[in-house]
Amino acid sequence: MTRRVLSCRHSKMKMSRGLTFEFEDAIADCDHHVRINTTSVPTEQPMRRRWRARKTAQMILDPRTSPGGDELVFAVAQVLPDLGDHLAFQREVQSAHKKAAFVEEVWVKDIPLRLDVRRQLAQFDHVFVSCAGTVEALAEHIDTPVTYLPPSIDHERFAAHPWPPLAIDVYAMGRRQPELHEALLRWVAADPSRFYMYDTVTGNRSLRDHRQHRGMLAQFVRRSRYFMVSGAKFNCPDETGNQAELGYRYFEGAAAGAVMLGTEVTAPTFPEQFTWEEPILTVDPSGHDLADRIDELDADPDRRAAIRQRNAAGSLRAHDPAHRWRLVLATLELEEPPGVEERIGRLAQRANQIDFTDIERRAKRA
């Protein structure tokens, strides 16, 4: 029986969605039943509306479901509006034995939802979200079971063996806190041999290839001595309603075995997901202690190696898409294929073999 994943990859190939497509690729890699739906959806809004209307008309004129049907339809959405595209495939959705939606971003402030969105969610047997604070409120609003599905990272990419030498002093990817950025610029200015890598463009830019993009980012993080992290959309209170959620940077940094630096974590689920010692080393939001923090760590390569080992090993054992797919299948009472256990076992074995001692002692500032 086929488990069909409905993906936005052919209509919304944007930088922010690379993580989503990485998740889809990884579950297809470990579950031989998974097929990723590759039907293109028009990208321009007027064309998309006409396309949806045409798909709806086809179902009205010919309401038959697909013969046999899939064992599972799993609609993956970064945001709720993505579901409108997925549900245009009504024949595939309605004929499936089980239907589930995974929506990464749903904020409590957006509840109650519009009636059309509620009707869309009502077509699924179960809804998974990556915003833990939203689970209870959403479940009460749509009268459908809702489960928290934490972020995950492809460890075959971010935690591949062997680890490369460390060549970047500090890497800050994506959103950043201005005060910390300015502090790092001053830190770099004090010593021309230091290399601080950060983004110089803004916006959700288009991707040529999400696999190449994610592979490049993984190599940057894996080669960084320190990696700056922060909460999900921490600088967008109007969008999040100041709801504190775990950002993907935490998971990317841990998977790559990075020494993570950031301000105090406010997301309530952080201790549940990062259960080991010193997953993040905190600095003041003003950045006044950032240089001292780096100097302190620079003087202790054994401590840095231990931090890296704990982050990488802890992440390998808990935060791969295979771990999330295991949760999805168990929640939906579907059989777990051997590939899931094989991948989880392979990553756990890798976690037991990690040793960053030589890499840290060879680092240029060790």
Going edge to edge, which strands form the sheet with 196-198? Answer: 196-198, 168-172, 224-228, 259-262, 280-282
In sequence order, the β-bridge partners of residue 281 are: 261
Give the CATH number for residue 43.
3.40.50.11930
106 and 190, same structural domain?
no
- The candidate with the shortest Cα–Cα distance to 6, out of 35, 31, 49, 42, is 35
Q: Of 119, 129, 125, which Cα lies nearest the Cα of 56?
A: 119
Last residue of a domain, one of 131, 148, 165: 148
CA-nearest of 5, 9, 22 to 251 is: 22
Beta carbons within 10 angstroms of residue 85's beta carbon: 22
For 257: left if phi > 0, alpha if psi spans -120 to 50, otherwise beta; the answer is: left
Secondary structure, 3-state, 25-92: HHHHHHCCCEEEECCCCCCCHHHHHHHHHHHHHHHHHCCCCCCCCCCEEEEEEEECCHHHHHCCCHHH
CA distance 122 to 100: 10
Tokens, residue 340:
């899931």
Q: Are 299 and 192 in contact (CB under 8 A)?
A: no
Please give the pLDDT value at position 58.
46
List beta partners, residue 127.
Answer: 101, 146
Instruction: Write phi, then psi, for 287 (nearest 5 degrees).
Output: 80, 5
HSE (side-chain half, CA atoms, 13 Å) at 27: 27
Assess whether 121 and 213 both reside in one domain.
no
Can you give the pLDDT at residue 50?
Answer: 52
Q: Give the pLDDT of residue 62.
A: 40
Q: How far is CA 32 from CA 92, 98, 99, 106, 270, in A?
A: 19, 17, 18, 30, 32
The reply to whether 112 and 259 lie within a common domain is: no
Residue 253 belongs to domain spanning: 155-362
Domain boundary (123, 148, 173) is at 148
Placement of tokens 């970047």 in the chain: 168
Domain finish residue from 101, 123, 148: 148
Is the same domain home to 296 and 199? yes
If DSSP codes are grouped into helix, strand and coil, which group holds residue 210?
helix
The reply to whether 129 and 222 lie within a common domain is no
Same domain, 76 and 167: no
pLDDT of residue 93: 85
Residues 209 and 22: beta-carbon distance below 8 Å: no
The domain that contains 258 carries what CATH number? 3.40.50
The predicted structure's pLDDT at residue 63:
45
What's the residue count for the chain?
366
Specify whether 86 is located in the same domain as 186: no
List pLDDT tens digits, range 152-174.
999 999 999 899 999 999 999 98
Q: Specify the number of domains making up the chain.
A: 2
Which pLDDT tens digit goes with each residue over 325-349?
Answer: 999 999 999 999 999 999 999 999 9
Buried b or exposed e, range 10-37, using 16+ CB within 10 angstroms? ebbbbbbbbbbbbbbbbbbebbebbebb
Residues of the chain with pLDDT under 70: 38-68, 364-366
Q: In terms of domains, do 138 and 189 share one?
A: no
The CA-atom distances, in angstroms, between 287 and each of 93, 101, 179, 183, 234 are 50, 40, 6, 6, 16
C-alpha to C-alpha distance for 137 and 146, rounded to whole angstroms: 9
Q: How far apart are CA 81 and CA 11, in angstroms?
A: 13
Residue type for position 132: A
User: Is 305 strand, coil or helix?
Assistant: helix
CB-side exposure of 295: number of CA atoms within 13 Å? 9
The whole-number pLDDT of residue 66 equals 52
Q: Are residues 138 and 167 in the same domain?
A: no
Q: Do 181 and 305 fall within a single domain? A: yes
Strands 224-228 and 168-172 turn out to be parallel
| 86 and 175 belong to one structural domain | no
The tens digit of pLDDT for each residue in 270-292 reads 999 999 999 999 999 999 999 99
* Residues 231 and 132 both lie in one domain: no
* Neighbour tally for 120: CB within 10 Å: 21
